[in-house]
């Protein structure tokens, strides 16, 4: 197997990939000790040319190799003439977005495609290898510290399998999508994954990730400032958020609203890192900013959604309809609509949920509207659930 450790070899391999219709891509990374994922390996494979040794068409790139520049790889990722094929692409794409400042395009996510093809909710790579590629996988190297060198032959074999089997999976799924006329359905989903907004975390919005039972705007104003301060500090220092300030400590501080170092020092949950002078000063400034926030600038959490009277029964009917339509179309129900989406559809005509637009509306949303409006009814026989026009 090819292990690429020099820029010249990487450029040569990427040049070969640039003439291929697609390249399968996977990464191995660590992020337990850092804010940004630490890229440890990149695996690449292209279709093997006729008569070519299969090993020549796949390679493992070692980003930790001294002197290696990943620019040839980034150039390939930016090449819109080559389809980039991933499985469960979001984390891989976030890494590329961070390193190269843009998202690879075009992309194909085999996990999303598998759901459109009716192969289950969030199908794992291993399950697709078994069901589509008809191969087995040795998963014993899954929990590897990919930053350690040298890597064993077993670890490298595990890593390269993540892209070699993916070629078979991609060709099978893309053919099935083309035959069923559903390629555009997957393209619609890929538009979300290729949007930079998917990977940009605005520090001012970081508070939304903090789970709290208290929704008082005055309290949330302090939570927002503390979460934004933590996000900026974590980025600057490249350390995990919780190493600086865990959520429970953040909420404790927001509740107590300390104004002095002495008051902050009484926190039961504040870690050693947060008690350093520079950190403590930042925490106190964030608390003061939250306290000083004008009432009209404080965060407001929308009231929890409450189904209308009778909405629960209609929601149950929509669940039956969803299951029937998903089964008939061979699409995973979860990809079409969530349980919360169904409750919103049941409660009003202006339900702003994915199921009411695009291909989901074609498969399910249109009939969901008709059921809600009393224009169709559901019946059942030995053949399953039937729609009856009223």
Please tell me the predicted confidence (pLDDT) of residue 8: 98
Please tell me the predicted confidence (pLDDT) of residue 304: 72
Does position 94 have pLDDT exceeding 70, yes or no?
yes
Are the C-beta atoms of residues 173 and 87 closer than 8 Å to each other? no
Percent of the chain at pLDDT exceeding 70 = 98
Q: What is the CATH number of domain 2-198?
A: 3.30.420.10
Are the C-beta atoms of residues 364 and 321 closer than 8 Å to each other? yes
Does position 54 have pLDDT exceeding 80, yes or no?
no
Please tell me the predicted confidence (pLDDT) of residue 235: 95
Does position 139 have pLDDT exceeding 80, yes or no?
no
Q: pLDDT for 248-299, tens place per residue?
A: 999 999 999 999 999 999 999 998 888 888 899 999 999 999 999 999 999 9
The pTM of this model reads 0.88
Q: pLDDT for 174-221, tens place per residue?
A: 999 999 999 999 999 999 999 999 998 899 999 999 999 899 999 999
Mean pLDDT in the chain? 93
Q: Give the class (CATH, top level) of 311-389.
A: mainly alpha
Q: Quote the Cα angle for 35-38-41, to 5°.
A: 160
Residue 141 confidence class, pLDDT cut points 50, 70, 90: confident
Please tell me the predicted confidence (pLDDT) of residue 349: 62
Three-state SS at 352:
coil
Using DSSP bridges, classify how beta strands 22-30 and 58-61 pair: parallel, antiparallel or unpaired: unpaired
Q: pLDDT for 300-340, tens place per residue?
A: 888 777 767 767 889 999 999 999 999 999 998 989 999 98
H or E element that contains 28? strand 22-30
Closest CA to 246 of 211, 218, 220: 211
CATH 3.30.420.10 in the chain is located at: 2-198
Does position 350 have pLDDT exceeding 70, yes or no?
no
Please tell me the predicted confidence (pLDDT) of residue 35: 95
Q: What is the CATH number of domain 203-297?
A: 1.10.150.80
Please tell me the predicted confidence (pLDDT) of residue 191: 93
The whole-number average pLDDT for the span 115-139 is: 88
Are the C-beta atoms of residues 112 and 93 closer than 8 Å to each other? no
Please tell me the predicted confidence (pLDDT) of residue 117: 92
Does position 110 have pLDDT exceeding 90, yes or no?
yes
Please tell me the predicted confidence (pLDDT) of residue 181: 94
Please tell me the predicted confidence (pLDDT) of residue 348: 76
**DSSP readout, 235-295?**
HHHT--HHHH--HHHHHHHHHH---SHHHHHT-SS--TGGGSHHHHHHHHHHHHHHHH--G
Six-digit token string for 236: 């600057």
Cα(76)–Cα(218) distance, integer angstroms = 49
Closest CA to 286 of 257, 248, 321: 257
Does position 55 have pLDDT exceeding 90, yes or no?
no
CATH 1.10.150.80 in the chain is located at: 203-297
Other Cβ atoms within 10 Å of 306 Cβ, number: 9
Please tell me the predicted confidence (pLDDT) of residue 310: 66
Least confidently predicted of 93-102, 140-149, 166-175, 193-202? 140-149
């Amino acid at each position: 197997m090819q292990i690429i450790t020099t820029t010249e070899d990487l450029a040569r391999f990427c040049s070969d990939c640039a003439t291929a219709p697609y390249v399968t891509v996977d990464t191995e990374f660590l992020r337990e000790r850092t804010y940004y994922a630490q890229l440890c390996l990149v695996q690449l494979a292209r279709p093997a040319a006729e008569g070519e040794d299969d090993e020549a068409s796949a390679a493992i790139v070692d980003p930790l190799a001294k002197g290696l520049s990943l620019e040839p790889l980034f150039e390939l990722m930016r090449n819109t003439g080559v389809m980039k094929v991933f499985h469960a692409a979001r984390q891989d794409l976030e890494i590329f977005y961070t390193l190269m400042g843009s998202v690879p395009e075009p992309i194909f996510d085999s996990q999303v495609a598998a759901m459109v093809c009716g192969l289950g909710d969030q199908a794992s790579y291993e399950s697709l290898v078994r069901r589509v590629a008809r191969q087995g996988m040795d998963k014993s190297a899954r929990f590897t510290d990919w930053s350690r060198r040298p890597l064993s032959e077993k670890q490298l074999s595990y890593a390269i399998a993540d892209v070699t089997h993916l070629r078979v999976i991609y060709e099978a799924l893309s053919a099935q999508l083309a035959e069923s006329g559903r390629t555009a359905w997957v393209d619609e989903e890929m538009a979300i994954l290729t949007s930079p907004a998917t990977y940009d975390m605005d520090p001012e919005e970081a508070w939304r990730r903090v789970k709290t039972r208290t929704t008082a705007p005055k309290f949330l104003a302090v939570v927002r400032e503390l979460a934004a301060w933590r996000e900026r500090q974590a980025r600057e220092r490249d350390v995990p958020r919780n190493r600086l300030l865990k959520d429970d400590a953040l909420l404790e501080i927001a509740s107590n609203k300390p104004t002095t170092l002495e008051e902050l020092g009484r926190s039961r949950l504040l870690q050693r890192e947060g008690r350093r002078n520079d950190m403590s000063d930042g925490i106190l400034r964030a608390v003061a900013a939250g306290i000083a926030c004008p009432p009209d600038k404080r965060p407001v959490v929308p009231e929890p959604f409450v189904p209308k009277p009778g909405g629960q029964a209609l929601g149950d009917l929509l669940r039956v309809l969803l299951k029937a339509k998903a089964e008939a179309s061979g699409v995973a129900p979860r990809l079409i609509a969530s349980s919360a989406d169904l409750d919103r559809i049941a409660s009003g005509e202006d339900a702003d949920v994915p199921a009411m637009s695009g291909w989901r509306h074609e498969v399910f949303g249109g009939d969901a509207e008709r059921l809600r409006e009393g224009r169709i009814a559901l019946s059942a026989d030995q053949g399953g659930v039937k729609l009856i026009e009223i």
